Amino acid sequence: MADNIGNKAAHDYHLDVPAAQEGFFVKGASHCDFGMKSRLARIFNPRSGNTVMLAFDHGYIMGPTAGLERIDLVIPPLIPHVDVLMGTRGIFRSCIPPAARVAKCVRMTYDSTVLFDDMSNGGGFACDLENALRTDADCVAVQTFIGAPGESRSLELLCRTADAATRYGVPTLGVVAVGKDMERTERFFLLATRVLAENGANIVKSYYCDGFERVAASCPVPIVIAGGKKLPELDALEMAYKAIRDGAHGVDMGRNIFQSDCPAGMAQAIGKVVHEGYTPKQAFEVYEEVKNSK
CB of 129 to ligand R5P, least distance (A): 19
User: In the 3-class helix/strand/coil scheme, how is 2-70 assigned residue by residue?
Assistant: HHHCCCCCCCCCCCCCCCCCCCCCCCCCCCCCHHHHHHHHHHCCCCCCCEEEEECCCHHHHCCCCCCCC
Instruction: Restricting to residues 151-180, name those near ligand R5P by CB under 6 A.
Output: 175
Q: How many of the other CB atoms lie within 10 Å of CB of 223?
A: 28
If binding is defined by CB under 6 A, does position 226 make contact with ligand R5P? yes
CB of 174 to ligand R5P, least distance (A): 10
If binding is defined by CB under 6 A, does position 143 make contact with ligand R5P? yes
Nearer to ligand R5P, 57 or 83 (CB): 57
CA 47 from centre of chain: 19
Candidate segments 4-12, 18-26, 38-46, 225-233, binder of ligand R5P by CB under 6 A: 225-233
Nearer to ligand R5P, 48 or 109 (CB): 109
* Catalytic-labelled residue, pool 180, 205, 242, 291: 205
Distance (Å, whole) CA 20 – CA 30: 9
If binding is defined by CB under 6 A, does position 59 make contact with ligand R5P? no
Answer for which of 227, 247, 250, 271 binds ligand R5P (CB under 6 A) is 227
Distance (Å, whole) CA 74 – CA 63: 16
Nearer to ligand R5P, 28 or 254 (CB): 254
Residue pair 145/179 in contact (Cβ under 8 Å)? The answer is yes
Distance (Å, whole) CA 100 – CA 96: 8
Binding region for ligand R5P (CB under 6 A): 55, 57-58, 86, 143, 175, 226-228, 252-256
